[in-house]
Structure 1
C-alpha cells in the first residue's frame, strides 16, 4: 500500500532518532488513523525491533516480547520470569547494538498488568538513557495513553522526549489520495473523511456512486460494519453509544435534543457524551466567541466524516440495504447527499482560511470557528483580539451562483456578533461551489474576498 504524507511526523521522528542521546517517543491517536503505518515507514530503513501487543494473557504477551528481542539480535530465547527481567534483557542488548524499539498497542499490556509503566520507567532511567537507541510506545486507546503514559500521575511522566498525537488527514492532505476533480473530491471526503484506511479503499478510477455502493453499502464490504466494530472494540455495551452517534449525525446536536432523540436522561447522557469525546468520536463545540469552559451553548458533532455519513445514511437503512443497496443510494442517499456535503464544505473552507492566513493573504487571526446565537449563525468567524479585527465568512454548497442576497445577509449577521469594540475592523469572505453572479466581485470593496472551487483547488495545490 502506498504511504501518503506524514512528512512532519516522519521529520519529528527522524530528528529524535538522530539526536546524540536516547529518545523516548509516545505516538497515539484513535483507531485507523495510520499510527502503525507511520511507525513501519519510519523503521523501514533502520535497525528496529517492532512488537505488536495483543489482547491475551500476560505470560504470553511477555513471552512474545522476549522472543521478538531475541529474534532481533539473532539470539536464542532466554528464560525470563517477569517484565523487569524482560526489559533488563532488552537494555543489555541495546548496550551493544542501537535499535528503534516500538511497542505497538501498549494499552493491551497495561490491561493485563497495570505496573508496566513502572517497569518501563526503570528501563528508561537505568538503561535506555545510557544508549543511543529510541523507544516508541504506541496506542489507540487515547484515554489510556493520556493517563497511563502522558499523565501527571504516570510513572513515565516527564520521561518522554517527544510525542505525536496523530490526527486524520485534513482535506488538503487527503487531496493527494483523492484523484477526483475538486468538486467530487470534496464529496468523496465527506464520505471517507481523513482516515487513511477509508481513503485508500476507494478506487478513484470509479465514480463516487460506485465507490459508495461497493465499499460502504455492500454487506460484505469492510466499511459496512466498521462503526460497530470500532465501538465494540472500545466498549462492552455499545448500544446507547450507537444511538447517540446516530442522533447527532441526524442533526440533534444539543444535549437536550440528544436526550429527546435517544430517551437517555441528562445525567447518564453526560457520561456517555464524555466517553465518546474521549474516544474522539464526538466533538463538543461552542461559538468561537465563547469560552469552552464556561459556555452553556454547546453543540455536539460526529468527529469523523465517515461515521457521520454511516450513521446518517447506512444505519437507519440497514434492512433496505440488505435487499436493494442501489435503490437506497438512488432514492435516499443521492438526493440528500448535498446537505451532508455542505457541512464538510464548511470544514474545507475553514482549512482554506487557515491556509490563507499562513500565506499572508489574509490578516492573522488567533481563533477561527463557527458562531451562533439564537437563530443567527455564521459558518466561519475569525477573531484577532490584538487588532480588534473580525472575519466573517459563509460557505455555500448550492447549485446556483451566490449573489447580493448572501452579501446583505452576512452584513446583517455581523451586527449580531457581539465581540470587540464598536469601531472594530470587519473583513468578509464568501466560498461558493457554483461561483458568483456576474459583477458581484466588482461591486464589493476590498474588505470582501470571494472563492470558488478553482480557488480552493489552487490553495490545496500550494499555488
Structure 2
C-alpha cells in the first residue's frame, strides 16, 4: 500500500533520530488515523524494536515485551519478574546498540498496571538518557495519553523530547488519495473524511455511488459498523452516546436542541458531550468573533465527515439497510447528499482561505471561522486584528450560478458583525460550485474575490508524491 503524506511528521521523527542524544517521543491521536503506519514507515530503514501491546493479562504483556526485546538483539529470553526488570533489561541492551523502540497502544499496558508510567520514567532517567537511542510511546486512547504520559500529574511529565498529535488528513492532504475530479473529490471527502484507512478503502476507478454501496452499505464492509465498533472500544455503554451523535449529525447543534432530540437532561448531557469531545468525536464551536470558549453561543458538530455521514444516514436507517440497501441509497441518501456535502464544502472553502493566503491570492488573516448571531450566519469570517481587516465569505454548493442577491445579502450581514473599528477594512469572498452569473466579477470592486471550482482545483492540486525516507 502506498504511504501518503505525513511528510512533516516523518521529518520530525527523522530529525529526532539523527540527534546525538536520546529521544523520547509521544505519538497519539484517535483510532484509524494512521499512527501505526506512520511509525512502521519510520522504522522501516532503521534498527528498531516494535512492540504492539494487546488487551490481555499483565504477565502476558510483559512476557511478550521481553520476547520482542530479546528478538531485536538476537538474545536468549531472560527470566523477568516485573516491569522494572523488563525495562532494566532493555536499558542494558541499548547501552551497547542503538535502536528505535516503539511501544504501540501503550494505554493497554497502563490499563493492566497503572504503575507502568513510573517504570518508564525510571528507565528514561536512569538508562535511556545515557544512550543515543529513541523511545516512542504511541496510543489511540487520547485521554490516557494526555493524562498518563503528557499530563502534569504523570511521572513522565517533562521527560518527552517531542510529541506528535496525529490528525486526520485535511482535504488538501486527502486530495492526493482521491483521484476524482474536484466535484466528486469533495463529495467523496464528505463520506470518508480525512481518516487514511477510510480514504484508501474506496476504489476511485468506480463511481462514488458504487463505493458507498459496496464500502459502506454492504453488511460485510468494514465501514458498515465502524462507528459502533469504535465507540464500544472506548465506552462501556455506548447507546446514549450514539443517540447524541445521531442528533448532532441530523442538525441539532445546541445543547438545548440536543437535549430535546435525545431526551437527555441538560445536566447529564454536558458530561456526555465532554466525553465525546475528549474522544474527539465532536467539536464545540463558537462564533469566530467570540472572546473565548465560554461563549454561550456554542454549537456542536460531529468532528469527522464519515461519522457525520454514518450517523446521518446509516444509524437512522439500520433496519431498512439490512433489508434493502439499494432502496435506502436511491430513496434516502442520494437525494439528500447535496445537503450533506454542502456542510463539507464550507469546511473545504475555509481550508481554501488558508491556501489562498499562503499563495498570496488574498490578504493574511490571524483567525478564520464561522460567525452567527441570532438568525444571521456567515459561512466564513476572517479576522486580522493588527490590520483592522475583516474577511466575509459565503459558500454555495448549488446547481445555479451565484448572482447579485448573494452579494447584496453578504454586504447587509456584514453590518451585523460587531468587530474591529468603525473604519475597518472589509474584504469579501464568494465560493460557488456552479460559478457566477455573467458580468458579476466585472461589477465588483477589488475588495471582492470569487472562487469557482477551477480555483479550488488549483489551490488543492495533489502533491502526488509518497514520502521517501532519506535513509532508504
TM-score with structure 1 setting the length: 0.99
Match of 2:82 in 1: 82
Aligned-pair CA distance for 1:173 = 0.3
Match of 1:326 in 2: 326
CA distance in 1, matches of 2:453, 2:98: 50
Match of 2:470 in 1: none
Match of 1:404 in 2: 404
Match of 2:177 in 1: 177
Match of 1:249 in 2: 249
Aligned-pair CA distance for 1:359 = 2.3
Match of 2:54 in 1: 54
Partner SS for 1:416 = coil
Match of 2:388 in 1: 388
Match of 1:361 in 2: 361
Match of 1:269 in 2: 269
Aligned-pair CA distance for 1:361 = 2.3
RMSD (CA atoms): 0.8
CA distance in 2, matches of 1:55, 1:64: 12
5 Å matches for 1:68-217? 68-217=68-217
CA distance in 1, matches of 2:114, 2:412: 57
CA contact (8 A) 2:394 2:410 kept: yes
Aligned-pair CA distance for 1:2 = 1.4
CA distance in 2, matches of 1:82, 1:354: 51
CA distance in 2, matches of 1:100, 1:348: 37
CA distance in 1, matches of 2:185, 2:309: 15
Partner SS for 2:431 = strand
Aligned-pair CA distance for 1:291 = 2.7
1:259 aligns with 2:259: yes
CA contact (8 A) 2:175 2:462 kept: no
Unaligned runs of 5+ in 2: 464-472
CA distance in 1, matches of 2:160, 2:132: 15
Match of 2:284 in 1: 284
- How far does the alpha carbon of each residue in 1:393-431 deviate from its partner, in whole angstroms, 9 at most, with x for none? 000000000000000000001000010111100000000
Aligned-pair CA distance for 1:360 = 2.5
Partner SS for 2:415 = helix
Partner SS for 2:243 = helix
- How far does the alpha carbon of each residue in 1:164-200 deviate from its partner, in whole angstroms, 9 at most, with x for none? 0000000010001000000000000000000001000
Pick which of 286-295 and 67-76 moved more: 286-295
Partner SS for 1:169 = coil
CA distance in 2, matches of 1:41, 1:12: 13
Aligned-pair CA distance for 1:56 = 0.6
Match of 1:67 in 2: 67
CA distance in 2, matches of 1:175, 1:251: 27
Match of 1:420 in 2: 420
CA distance in 2, matches of 1:219, 1:462: 33
CA distance in 1, matches of 2:438, 2:177: 34
CA distance in 1, matches of 2:236, 2:365: 43
1:316 aligns with 2:316: yes
CA distance in 1, matches of 2:258, 2:307: 17
Aligned-pair CA distance for 1:294 = 2.4
Match of 1:350 in 2: 350
- How far does the alpha carbon of each residue in 1:139-174 deviate from its partner, in whole angstroms, 9 at most, with x for none? 000011011100111111110000000000000100
CA distance in 2, matches of 1:318, 1:84: 49
CA distance in 1, matches of 2:462, 2:238: 42
CA contact (8 A) 2:58 2:113 kept: yes
CA distance in 2, matches of 1:335, 1:345: 17
CA contact (8 A) 2:176 2:462 kept: no
CA distance in 1, matches of 2:165, 2:252: 29
1:378 aligns with 2:378: yes
CA distance in 1, matches of 2:360, 2:354: 10
1:14 aligns with 2:11: no
1:455 aligns with 2:455: yes
Match of 2:294 in 1: 294
CA contact (8 A) 2:173 2:462 kept: no
Aligned-pair CA distance for 1:24 = 0.5
- How far does the alpha carbon of each residue in 1:365-395 deviate from its partner, in whole angstroms, 9 at most, with x for none? 1110000000000000001111110000000
RCO higher in structure (CA 8 A, sep ≥6)? 2
Partner SS for 1:365 = coil
Aligned-pair CA distance for 1:462 = 7.3
Partner SS for 2:419 = coil
Aligned-pair CA distance for 1:320 = 1.0
Aligned-pair CA distance for 1:292 = 3.2
Partner SS for 2:264 = coil
Partner SS for 1:343 = helix
